[in-house]
Amino acid sequence: MSAPVRVRFAPSPTGYLHVGGARTALFNWLYARHTGGTFVLRIEDTDNARNSQEAVDVILSGLRWLGLDWDEGPLTGDADGPVRGDFGPYFQSRRGEIYRRRAEELKAKGLAYEKDGALFFRMTRDPVTIPDLVVGDVVRPLTDREALDPDWVLIRSDGVPVFHFVNVVDDLEMGITHVIRGEDHLSNTAKHIALFEAFGVEPPRYAHIPLILNLDGSKMSKRDQGASVQSYIDDGYLPEAVINYLSLLGWSSKTATELFTAAEIAPLFDLPDINRSNARFDLKKLEHFHFEHTRRLSPDRFVENGVEALRKAGIETAGFDPAYVRAALLTAQEKGKLFKELPVWTDFYFALDDAVAYEAEAKAKALIPAAVPIVSQLAARFAALPEFTAAALEVSLKGLAAELGMKVGALIPPCRVACTGRLVGPSLYHLLEVLGREKVARRLERARMVSGS
RNA sequence: GACCCUAUCGUCCAGCGGUUAGGACACCGCCCUUUCACGGCGGGGACCCGGGUUCGAAUCCCGGUAGGGUCGCCA
C-alpha cells in the first residue's frame, strides 16, 4: 500500500537539547515505532560558526539518555565518523555537493536565479495550501512584506545554503515521508511545499505539533526552568518519567491510566490525535511521574542510579559491602525523590567511624539532656535483642515507650537523630535493621554523650 | 504592519449537538502513621466574550479579545 514511513529529527547543534526538541524527537520516534517505519537523525550544522563535535554529542547523549534510538544517522558527534544508514551523509555540512546539484537543477528549470551573489528561488505568488495532519488544511498567502518581494534566498552570497533549502533537499533525498516538527515551522511550510513542487515531487505529509511554553505562558528559552534536557539528567530524573510527561504534552492516550513507558505508548500513538494548542510546562507533574516510575523501578536499576548519585555528591560506596549498600539505598526507593536528593536521605549509612553529622536543628531538638536516659535504655534493649530486625526493633522501642509511660513519638526523634543526624529519613525500624547491631550501638553511645554534654 | 495557529478547572488532558462537564497534577480538610512521605476518604475549582445556526450548544458558523507562531543572505 503506502510507502514505509520514514521520519526524522533534525536538530541544530546549539550546545543543548531543548525540551521541545526532545518532545519532537519523541513524537517522531513514537510514530516510527508505531508504524514500523524508520527514525532518522540528521544534524543541521549548516551554521558553521556554532558547530562543534561537543555540541552534537550533547544531542546524541540526550537522545540516548531518553532512550530514543535512531535507525539511521551518526553514531558519534564526529561529522566524519561512523554512521548507520544508506542515506548519508547525515551532517548537512557534508552534503554540499548534493545542495549544489539541486541548485543547478532549479537554475536549469528557470526557478532559481543569481542576484547580488546569492541564489534566489522564484517563489509562487499564489497562496499555498498546507495539508497538515494535526491542524488540517492551512492556506498561507504571502504576507505584506513577502508580497513586496516574494523570492527568497536558497544559497547565500558566501556560498552557504540556507535552512529552508537544505531542509527540503535533505527530506527529499532521504525519502522522508512524514515531517513531524514544531508549529513554529507551520508558516514556513509554504516555502517548503513550493520547493518540493519546483523539484517536481510530492511533498511529505506534515504534522506540526504545538509548542511547549513556560508555566506562565511565555515562550521557553534556553535559560528557563526545565528547558534543557541536561537539567533533568543533572537533577536525577528518571528518563522514563521525562518521556512519560512529555508524551502527555499535546497528546492523550484517552485511556484511564497516564503512566506509560515509551514502548507502551508507541502502539497507541497516532498523528491525528495530537492536540492543536500549546502546552505549558509544569515541573510538579513531571515530579509526580518521577515518583511513580521510581517506585516501579527494578531494585537493580534503583541501586545503580543511587550509587551514581552518591558518587556525584562525593560519597563513595565502594568500601562497603555491596549487600549493605543495596539494602541501604533500597530503604529510600519508596520515597521517590529525585536522585539528586538521594544523598540527603542515605548519606548517614556511609558515615565513617559512625561519626554521624548531626543537622543543627535536629541536634538541638532531639539530642538534649532529656534524651540521655532514652538513648541509653534503647541501647540496652537493642543490645539484648536476639534478632536485629525491623519488626523486633519496633516491638522493642514501643515496649520501652509503654514502660516509660511515654508516647512512641517521644522516643523516635532521639533514636533517629542519633543514627542518621536528621529528623526525617527512611522508615526508622528498617533503617536500623540495615545499619545493623554494631553501627546502631556505636551511634547511640555517641549520641548519649553528645546529649549529656 | 501582514499572515497563520490556538482558546474546557491554576496546569495537562477527556468531551467531538442533549453529560449532575470526567480524569490526572497541584491545592485544602479529615483518617492512617515513628518523621517526611505513601495510602484512604472528602472538598473547592473551568467551557474567554458577543452574535448567530438549532427544539437544544463546551461542541457547528461569524466577529471580537487574548496567547503563540511566521514574514532573514538565522536554524
Above 90 in pLDDT, residue A67? yes
Q: Supply the mean pLDDT for chain A.
A: 94
Residue A285: its pLDDT value, please? Answer: 95
Question: A262 is written with which cell numbers?
Answer: 515509551
Q: How far is the CA of A89 from the C1' of B1 (A)?
A: 42
Active-site annotation of A, residues = 222
Residue A48: its pLDDT value, please? Answer: 60
A188 touches strand B (CB under 7 A): yes
At A74-90, the pLDDT tens digits run 999 999 999 999 998 99
Above 70 in pLDDT, residue A50? no
Among the listed residues A86, A92, A34, A22, the one whose alpha carbon sits nearest the alpha carbon of residue A60? A22
DSSP labels, A352-399: GGG-----HHHHHHHSSTTHHHHHHHHHHHHHH-SS--HHHHHHHHHH
Among the listed residues A180, A292, A290, the one whose alpha carbon sits nearest the alpha carbon of residue A226? A290
Q: How far is the CA of A23 from the C1' of B4 (A)?
A: 22
A288 touches strand B (CB under 7 A): yes
Q: How far is the CA of A362 from the C1' of B48 (A)?
A: 51
Residue A49: its pLDDT value, please? Answer: 53
ipTM score for this prediction: 0.95
Above 60 in pLDDT, residue A428? yes
Q: Which nucleotide is nearest to A285 (CA to C1')?
A: B25
Residue A46: its pLDDT value, please? Answer: 81
Q: How far is the CA of A68 from the C1' of B40 (A)?
A: 38
Q: What residue has its CA nearest to the C1' of B33?
A: A409
Q: Which nucleotides of B are covered by protein (CB under 7 A)?
A: 1-8, 10-15, 23-26, 34-38, 67-75
Residue A255: its pLDDT value, please? Answer: 85
Residue A51: its pLDDT value, please? Answer: 63
A12 touches strand B (CB under 7 A): yes
- φ, ψ of residue A276 to 5 degrees: the values are -100, -10
